[in-house]
Structure 1
Amino acid sequence: MPQNFDYIIIGSGLAGLQLAYKLSEDPFFGKSQIAIIDPSSKETNDKTWCFWEKGTGKWDEIITKSWDQAKFISTEANIDLELNPYSYKMLRAIDFYNFVRSALKGKSNFHFILDEVGEIDEINSLAFGKKDNYAATHFFDSRIGSDYLENSKSTKIFQHFKGLRITTTNPVFDEAIFTMMDFRLKFPESTSFTYVLPLSEREALIEYTFFTPFLIEEPVYDTYLQTYIKDILKIEDHEIIETEKGVIPMTDYNFHEASGPKVTKIGTAGSWVKGSTGYSFKHTEKKTAQLVQNIKSGKNPKDGLLNARSRWYDAIFLDVLHRNNELGEQVFTKFYSNNTPQEIFKYLDEETNILEELKIMFSIYHPEFVRSFFRKLFQ
Structure 2
Amino acid sequence: MQNDNHFDYLIIGNGLAGLQLALELSKDPFFATYTIGLIDPSEKSENDKTWSFWEQGRGKFDAVVEKVWHTAKFESPKISLTLLLKAYDYKTIRAIDFYNWAKNELSSKENFKFILDTVQEIKDSEIVEVIGEHQSYSAKHVFDSRVPKEFYSEQSHYTLIHQHFKGWVIETESACFQPEVFTMMDYRFQYKDSTSFIYVLPFSETKALVEYTFFTPFLVEDDVYETALKTYLKSEYNLSRFKILETEVGNIPMTDFPFWKYHTEHVTKIGTGGGWVKGSTGYSFKHTEKNVSKVIANIKAGKKPSHRLFKKKFKFYDKIFLKVLHDENEKGVWIFESFYSKNTIRTMFRFLDEETAFSEDLAIMKSLFSMAFIKAFFKVLFKP
* TM norm structure 1: 0.98
Range with greater deviation from structure 2 (236-245 or 285-294): 236-245
CA RMSD of aligned residues (A): 1.1
Which string of whole-angstrom CA distances, capped at 9 and with x for unpartnered residues, describes residues 320-347 of structure 1? 0000001100110000010112111010
What letter matches 1:143 in structure 2? R
Q: Distance in 2 between matches of 1:216 and 1:112?
A: 37
Q: Distance in 2 between matches of 1:357 and 1:233?
A: 38
Range with greater deviation from structure 2 (252-261 or 195-204): 252-261
- Structure 2 residue aligned with 1:95, among 82, 94, 97? 97
SS in 1 for 2:188: coil
SS in 1 for 2:157: coil
Correspondence 1:210 to 2:214: yes
SS in 2 for 1:5: strand
What letter matches 2:90 in structure 1? Y
2:130 is aligned to 127
- The CA deviation at 1:146 is 4.7
Percent of matched pairs sharing the same residue: 51
Which string of whole-angstrom CA distances, capped at 9 and with x for unpartnered residues, describes residues 278-323 of structure 1? 0100100110011011101100100121111001001000000000
Which string of whole-angstrom CA distances, capped at 9 and with x for unpartnered residues, describes residues 6-53 of structure 1? 000000000000000000000111010000000000000000000000
1:164 is aligned to 168
CA contact (8 A) 2:148 2:262 kept: no
- The CA deviation at 1:189 is 2.7
- The CA deviation at 1:233 is 2.5
Q: Distance in 1 between matches of 2:141 and 2:307?
A: 15
What letter matches 1:240 in structure 2? I
CA contact (8 A) 2:148 2:259 kept: no
Q: Distance in 2 between matches of 1:189 and 1:174?
A: 28
Correspondence 1:269 to 2:285: no
Correspondence 1:5 to 2:32: no
1:154 is aligned to 158
Which string of whole-angstrom CA distances, capped at 9 and with x for unpartnered residues, describes residues 187-220 of structure 1? 0031000000000011100000000001111111
Which string of whole-angstrom CA distances, capped at 9 and with x for unpartnered residues, describes residues 95-146 of structure 1? 0000110000110100000001121111251111111111110000000045
What letter matches 2:309 in structure 1? L
CA contact (8 A) 1:2 1:135 kept: no
Q: Distance in 1 between matches of 2:231 and 2:155?
A: 37
CA contact (8 A) 2:166 2:213 kept: yes
- Structure 2 residue aligned with 1:144, among 136, 139, 147? 147
SS in 1 for 2:211: strand
Distance 1:335 1:284, change over 3 A: same
SS in 2 for 1:295: helix
SS in 1 for 2:315: helix
2:117 is aligned to 115
CA contact (8 A) 2:164 2:250 kept: yes
Correspondence 1:255 to 2:245: no
- Structure 2 residue aligned with 1:23, among 18, 22, 25? 25
Structure 2 stretches of 5 or more lacking a match?
none
CA contact (8 A) 2:70 2:85 kept: yes
CA contact (8 A) 1:115 1:130 kept: yes
Which string of whole-angstrom CA distances, capped at 9 and with x for unpartnered residues, describes residues 249-300 of structure 1? 0011111211111000001111111111101001001100110111011001
What letter matches 2:285 in structure 1? F
Q: Distance in 2 between matches of 1:17 and 1:343?
A: 30
1:361 is aligned to 365
CA contact (8 A) 1:2 1:132 kept: no
Range with greater deviation from structure 2 (333-342 or 145-154): 145-154
Structure 1 stretches of 5 or more lacking a match?
none
1:200 is aligned to 204
